[in-house]
Amino acid sequence: MTEMSLFEAFLLGIVEGLTEFLPISSTGHLILASNLLGIDLDEAHKSFVIVIQLGSILAVVALYFKKLISDFNLLVKLAIAFFPTGLIGLLFYKQIKELFAPQTVAYALIIGGVILIAIELFYKPKTERTTSVENVTFAQAFLIGCAQCFAMIPGASRSAATIIGGLLCGLDRKSAALFSFLLAVPTMLIATCYDLYKNYGSFSQDQTINLAIGFITAFFVALIVIKGFLRFISRFNFAPFGVYRVVIGAIFLWAVL
């Protein structure tokens, strides 16, 4: 294993921006990509994986800033949805970081993929759906937040967990995806700040430059991906992402074992 180069930081920024808002696990793909590139998964790199996700999240802020600041009730719902994840993350931070391993990611990708496929095959949608994030209830927000807790397992996918939670709570696909995007803002902002607080001493000057490159790259790539993903799910379902997860998880599990 080696330390990360500037080009590898750029590549990982692209991976992050492409995968953050798709239900395929950006953290999982960053860990798998780092393993394939031969980058040492030390504490500094684990923090790199977490922090550059904030770059993608700021793309949500850029695109939906007016929505976020103009609807106080929506902000309250996002706070309610964040609470379960914030509490568990604070209590089990060390144990969660210990799960950052390729095998964990591979298993989580496969299991999550099977769940996505099963939901699309067998889940019967309610006749009355919540069709906008403004109409999400406080109870729905809390339940989606509880679903997000499963995303602390690398490879499970924060987007997949919250989108599945949203669908099961009565949201339509587009509203579930958009609420997932918006919930990422407080979740990843606080997670990043806390991780930097815990590990700021782990970064050398070179690693800080790598962090900046990955962060900025993720931001610009995510700007493109968000709009494209919302257009995609307006026409199709999530089953293709489930199939992709199972295939990638199985291939990597075979490769590392």
- Asked whether residue 97 is domain-assigned, the answer is yes
Cβ proximity of 107 and 156 under 8 Å: no
80 closest CA partner among 159, 139, 160, 134? 139
Q: Which two tokens stand for residue 252?
A: 């990597």
Task: Tell me what the pLDDT averaged over the chain comes to.
Answer: 88
Q: Which two tokens stand for residue 150?
A: 């499963």
120-161 pLDDT per residue, tens: 887 666 556 788 899 999 999 999 999 999 988 888 899 999
User: Which range is least confidently modeled, 56-60, 108-112, 128-132, 159-163?
Assistant: 128-132
Backbone angles phi, psi at 5, to 5 degrees: -95, 170
| Max CA pair span of the chain | 56
- Asked whether residue 140 is domain-assigned, the answer is yes
CA distance 44 to 35: 15
Q: Has residue 167 got a pLDDT over 60?
A: yes
Q: List residues bridging with 130 in a β-sheet.
A: 171
- Asked whether residue 57 is domain-assigned, the answer is yes
pLDDT at site 1? 47
CA distance 100 to 91: 17
Q: Has residue 75 got a pLDDT over 80?
A: yes
Instruction: Please name the residues in contact with 204: beta carbons below 8 A apart, sequence gap of 6 or more.
Output: 44
Give the rounded percent of residues in the chain with a pLDDT score beyond 90: 48
The pTM of this model reads 0.86
Distance between alpha carbon 221 and the CA centroid of its chain, in Å?
Answer: 15
User: Domain of 105?
Assistant: 6-256
Measured CA angle at 57 (ends 52, 59), to 5 deg: 110
Instruction: Please name the residues in contact with 128: beta carbons below 8 A apart, sequence gap of 6 or more.
Output: 170
Number of structural domains the chain divides into: 1
pLDDT at site 32? 87
pLDDT at site 40? 79
What stretches of 92-127 show up as alpha helix (H) in DSSP? Answer: 93-97, 102-122
- Asked whether residue 130 is domain-assigned, the answer is yes
- Asked whether residue 86 is domain-assigned, the answer is yes
93 closest CA partner among 51, 135, 150, 152? 152
The residue ranking higher by pLDDT, 188 or 78, is 78
Cβ proximity of 146 and 195 under 8 Å: no
Length of the chain: 257
- Asked whether residue 224 is domain-assigned, the answer is yes
41 closest CA partner among 32, 155, 17? 32
Q: 120-154 burial by CB neighbour count: b if 16+ within 10 A, else e?
A: beeeeeeeeebeebeebeeebbbbbbbbbbbbbbb
- Asked whether residue 1 is domain-assigned, the answer is no
